């Protein structure tokens, strides 16, 4: 029997006790009378709920705890009262103090920002304290306003003098709150704001006002120093920061910032298979030639790199030519060919030749392979920002430069799955194919032990694809110990009950760890599709809070550095960094049927 202390209950007792008598439970103390309850129940009493709203009722309705602000006859902000518990002051005898605060339910962007600023708490000893609701706003504001709009909505600094002490104190507190918000904003989103001209102009204007205010409000000096550190501003006047250098602002130039971003470049060695490798805007054709030559064990002098542009254009790339455009897109479909290139584009090799090569994977240590895969994935995941998931979900149809790292890791996960299929289906003999599948099962287990769930999922899904799972003769030869291990690993990828097995297993893992990002994006999309972003032209901030709470998982997973798995042998790293992949599903099925024809 469940109890709700906030509601009134009564018991209609049997005539044997007393005609029409009632027993009313008012509060928590009354619930201790369980013996009386049991006695009444044994005597045939009926348990009823009293729906009357008496003065004793303590459960407040949803509307009773909500406050609405109206402007010009329209709702501008909706708040909900929420009780929070915080530690009691040192001079107090109580352990904690319960206080009420109002959280945003919905509102216009300007009113939401205004309320969050008013709600910021400032500690004179420790500066400012982090607020989850403010973090929600800064993570999700691109959903309903641009960066330019946010710069314009932030309260500007005015230069007028304040007369009374109270007025001056209030002005100082407001300025410090704005500086706190800007500081949190730059700290959280600095990678997205470095190239934004609106932010540069806003920061220059803000600093001018702040530097003027330092004479009147010396207490702002600590806040200014913190902003300078975050924004990497170089100041020429050390005493009172009187002069601000607008040129030496420490921001990376656009070209430098672009070159630090990497993508996975595909170099085709057959008509439908390629070598995948990292490349940035400054990568030259010579680097790809050298990497493919080492991967395929072919003299580099015999190779040339050709960019095929559609419909029928071809461009022979010179060693120093760049293979990517400024937008990090290939100059064409890149093909590695032999130098005896005639009128027809001759591929470097074909699938029949690849099929007769000895499976190189069989000579590699499975733990070392897992370490190399985890190191590669972590180098990408560590640069993924929480806001990338927001941009990816809400700006999917528009090309955004804010999701480079996220898309790179998603692409890598897909390529690892294709790589597993490619390695198995290009292995010609049955006994070697059995050994290869055993190795992949062990690698998947090692990836799980190294808390790399992205690569773990990719390997298990690759082994479960139709082209590989149909190889019945191969799977029959797998020892029972490995079949049992594979079955245990499969249960983690079981999608039933909303991937409960994966979520429970992942929750128990300590940080750092790499999540399976497609599932995280699915959760965000579910929140997005199931809740309106706007209610009566007001931003649904409760929806954004749920999204922000979900994407913060990225920050939690990146809390520590995965240093113990950063070292692996050069041979293994060269192999896993340049995966050979067949991306044509028809070709993969043809290889599968060639290995084990349909009965």
Q: What CATH number should be reported for the domain holding residue 371?
A: 1.10.840.10
Are 434 and 474 in contact by the 8 Å Cβ rule? The answer is yes
Helix H or strand E encompassing 587: helix 585-595
Would the pLDDT of 212 be above 80? no
Please tell me the predicted confidence (pLDDT) of residue 18: 43
Q: Counting Cβ atoms within 10 Å, is residue 430 exposed (0-12), middle (13-18) or buried (19+)?
A: middle
Q: What is the mean pLDDT of residues 491-503?
A: 94
CA 15 to chain centre: 64
Q: How confident is the model at residue 210 (pLDDT cuts 50, 70, 90)?
A: confident
- Write the CA distances from 46 to 8, 30, 216, integer angstroms: 15, 18, 73
Do 469 and 556 share a structural domain?
yes
Q: Counting Cβ atoms within 10 Å, is residue 99 exposed (0-12), middle (13-18) or buried (19+)?
A: exposed
Which residues are registered as beta bridge partners of 11?
A: 47
pLDDT digits 0-9 by tens, 126-181:
433 347 888 999 999 999 998 888 888 876 544 445 555 656 777 778 888 888 88
Higher pLDDT, 346 or 401: 401
Please tell me the predicted confidence (pLDDT) of residue 415: 95
Would the pLDDT of 423 be above 50? yes
Do 156 and 225 share a structural domain?
yes
Q: How confident is the model at residue 231 (pLDDT cuts 50, 70, 90)?
A: low
Cis status of the peptide bond prior to 311, with omega within 30 of 0:
yes
Among residues of the chain, what percentage have pLDDT more than 90? Answer: 34
Residue 57 lies in a domain: no
- The beta strand positions in 269-312, using DSSP E, are 273-280, 303-309
Please tell me the predicted confidence (pLDDT) of residue 272: 82
Are 576 and 369 in contact by the 8 Å Cβ rule? The answer is yes
Which residues are registered as beta bridge partners of 514?
A: 452
Which residues are registered as beta bridge partners of 182?
A: none
Do 375 and 448 share a structural domain?
yes
Residue where one domain finishes, among candidates 305, 338, 371: 338
pLDDT digits 0-9 by tens, 260-312:
578 888 888 888 888 888 888 888 888 888 888 888 778 888 888 888 876 66
Tokens of 191: 């990678």
Q: What is the CATH number of the domain that holds 309?
A: 3.10.20.90
How many domains does the chain contain in total?
A: 3
Do 571 and 469 share a structural domain?
yes
Do 569 and 505 share a structural domain?
yes
Would the pLDDT of 547 be above 80? yes
pLDDT digits 0-9 by tens, 407-418:
999 999 999 999
Do 357 and 322 share a structural domain?
no
Torsion angle, alpha carbons of 202, 208, 214, 215, to 10:
-150
Tokens of 422: 């490619």
Please tell me the predicted confidence (pLDDT) of residue 164: 57
CA 332 to chain centre: 31
Do 479 and 540 share a structural domain?
yes
Please tell me the predicted confidence (pLDDT) of residue 222: 79
Do 459 and 409 share a structural domain?
yes
> Over the chain, what is the mean pLDDT?
77
Q: How confident is the model at residue 43 (pLDDT cuts 50, 70, 90)?
A: low
Are 12 and 45 in contact by the 8 Å Cβ rule? The answer is yes
Residue 106 lies in a domain: yes
Residue 440 belongs to domain spanning: 351-595
Residues 6+ apart with CB under 8 A from 313: 332
Which range of 86-90, 105-109, 151-155, 560-564 scores highest in mean pLDDT? It is 105-109
Residue 95 lies in a domain: no
What's the sign of the alpha-carbon dihedral 138, 139, 145, 151? positive
CA angle centred on 410, ends 406 and 416, rounded to 5°: 145
Are 455 and 416 in contact by the 8 Å Cβ rule? The answer is yes
Do 432 and 549 share a structural domain?
yes
Coil, strand or helix: which one is 561?
coil
Closest C-alpha to 323, from 271, 267, 254: 267
Residue 19 lies in a domain: no
Q: What is the mean pLDDT of residues 347-364?
A: 61
Do 293 and 193 share a structural domain?
no
């Amino acid at each position: 029997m469940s109890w709700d202390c906030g509601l009134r209950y009564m018991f209609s007792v049997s005539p044997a006790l007393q005609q029409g008598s009632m027993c009313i439970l008012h509060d928590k103390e009354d619930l201790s009378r369980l013996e009386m309850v049991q006695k009444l129940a044994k005597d045939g009493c009926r348990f009823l709920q009293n729906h009357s709203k008496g003065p004793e009722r303590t459960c407040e309705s949803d509307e009773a705890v909500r406050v609405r602000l109206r402007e010009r006859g329209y709702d501008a902000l909706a708040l909900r009262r929420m009780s929070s518990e915080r530690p009691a002051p040192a001079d107090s005898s109580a352990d904690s103090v319960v206080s009420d605060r109002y959280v945003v339910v919905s509102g216009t962007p300007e009113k939401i920002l205004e309320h969050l600023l008013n709600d910021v708490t400032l500690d004179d000893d420790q500066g400012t304290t982090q607020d989850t609701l403010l973090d929600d706003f800064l993570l999700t504001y691109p959903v309903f306003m641009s960066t330019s709009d946010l710069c314009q909505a932030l309260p500007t600094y005015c230069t007028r003098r304040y007369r009374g002490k109270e007025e001056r104190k209030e002005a100082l507190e407001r300025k410090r709150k704005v500086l706190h918000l800007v500081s949190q904003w730059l700290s959280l989103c600095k990678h997205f704001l470095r190239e934004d001209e609106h932010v540069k102009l806003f920061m220059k204007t803000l600093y001018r006002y702040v530097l003027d205010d330092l004479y009147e409000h010396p207490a702002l000096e600590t806040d200014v120093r913190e902003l300078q550190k975050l924004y990497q501003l170089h100041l020429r006047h050390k005493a009172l920061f009187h002069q601000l250098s607008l040129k030496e602002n420490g921001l990376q130039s656009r070209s430098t910032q672009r070159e630090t971003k990497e993508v996975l470049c595909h170099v085709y060695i057959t008509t439908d298979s390629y070598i995948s490798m990292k490349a940035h805007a400054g990568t030259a054709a010579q680097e790809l030639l050298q990497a493919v030559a080492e991967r395929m064990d072919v003299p580099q002098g015999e190779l040339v790199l050709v960019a095929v542009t559609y419909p029928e254009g071809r461009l022979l790339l010179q060693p120093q030519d760049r293979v990517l455009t400024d937008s990090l897109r290939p100059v064409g479909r890149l093909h590695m060919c032999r130098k005896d290139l005639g009128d027809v584009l001759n591929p470097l090799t074909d699938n029949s030749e690849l099929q007769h090569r000895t499976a190189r994977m069989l000579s590699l240590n499975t733990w070392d392979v897992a370490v190399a895969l985890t190191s590669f994935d972590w180098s990408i995941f560590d640069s993924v920002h929480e806001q990338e998931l927001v941009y990816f979900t809400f700006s999917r149809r528009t090309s955004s430069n804010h999701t480079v790292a996220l898309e790179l890791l998603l692409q890598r996960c897909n390529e690892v799955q294709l790589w597993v299929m490619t390695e198995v289906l290009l292995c010609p003999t049955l006994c070697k194919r059995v050994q290869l599948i055993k190795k992949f099962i062990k690698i998947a287990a090692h990836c799980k032990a190294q808390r790399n769930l992205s690569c773990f999922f990719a390997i298990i899904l690759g082994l479960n694809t139709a082209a590989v799972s149909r190889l019945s003769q191969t799977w029959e030869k797998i020892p029972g110990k490995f079949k049992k291990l594979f079955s245990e690993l499969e249960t983690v990828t079981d999608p039933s009950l909303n991937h409960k097995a994966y979520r429970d297993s992942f929750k128990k893992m300590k940080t750092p760890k790499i999540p399976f990002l497609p599932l995280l994006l699915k959760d965000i999309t579910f929140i997005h599709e199931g809740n309106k972003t706007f209610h009566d032209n007001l931003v649904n901030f409760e929806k954004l809070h749920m999204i922000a709470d979900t994407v913060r998982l990225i920050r939690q997973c990146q809390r520590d550095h995965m240093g113990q798995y950063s070292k692996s042998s050069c041979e293994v790293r060269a192999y896993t960094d340049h995966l050979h992949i067949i991306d044509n599903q028809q070709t993969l099925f043809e290889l599968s049927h060639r290995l084990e024809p349909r009965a």
